[in-house]
Amino acid sequence: MPPADKGQKKIIIKKVKGGHGHAHHGGSWKVAYADFVTAMMAFFLVMWIVGMDDSAKESIQGYFANPVGFKKGYGSGQSPIASGQTFVLQRPTTPLPSRVAEEEAMRAVEERLREALRGSEFDGLREHVDVEVTHEGLRVEFGEGLAGDATFASGSARMTPPMLRAIAILGGEIAALPHEVIIEGHTDGVPLQRPGGYSNWELSSDRANAARRAIQLQGVAPARIASVRGLADRYPKIRDFPRDPRNRRISIMLPYRNGISVNAAGADQADAEPDTM
């Protein structure tokens, strides 16, 4: 082998064994980056809230204090940001009693009314008065027997004496309650045709309004009357026999205040378009 040139540089190659050359870097930078992103998100969220008007700020503050007391002020499936609207706080004007307290008050009315109707002056009507506390509230129904004329004179909105006394008692009992009152009038399926187009629609409405006036005379405030409905013969009690006299009746409903809508009364009548006066 010829001798190496004295002016040539010597190249030394060093081999490092093992595959852990980058282990000393670790993953701490990922944690720092996540903290940075979180801080920036919080910063922009605060800036967004600061730019809102005072009412929006109060709504957001109230939402986190009491989420149940809020309802969304936008349509179903829409974002409150996209719709440009904010949460709306429901502020009841008066505190609502618990459902248990309402039921107890209504059952007391039910018992007192049943006791009052046991008198002999209600013969002929007593067995046709249905008082019931339901999941909707207190429902009192004054109906007819097979003989008819227990509540109203035939084809008339004039109450019989027992009906007048019974509805006066009911009015006195419910006058002390704060609930809204819904009154419905029903007729049988016998067509009523009089000059001027007076039909079962007008008759059922007139009878319902007669009941409204009678309970108002006992101290029920007019503002508590939520609706007066004349339903004619559209919802017979005896469905198989629309002309049965027992289909003629007056129904008075006191819905619960905490959660039951006025339109919930008569749930089986959801498709009705009643003649309301």
In order of start, what are the domains of the chain with their CATH numbers? 28-89 (no CATH), 99-276 (3.30.1330.60)
Q: Tell which residue, 40, 22, 38, has the closest CA to residue 30.
A: 38
Confidence (pLDDT) at 34: 87
Tens digit of each residue's pLDDT (9 = 90 or more) over 216-251: 999 999 999 999 999 999 999 999 999 998 999 999
DSSP result, 149-188: -SSB-TTSSPBPHHHHHHHHHHHHHHTTS---EEEEEE--
Give the whole-angstrom CA distance, residue 115 versus residue 107. 12
Confidence (pLDDT) at 117: 81
Confidence (pLDDT) at 149: 78
Neighbouring residues of 223: CB distance < 8 A, sequence distance ≥ 6: none
Give the whole-angstrom CA distance, residue 34 versus residue 32. 5
Those residues of the chain that have pLDDT short of 50 are 72-83, 85-89, 91-92, 95, 260-277
Confidence (pLDDT) at 215: 95
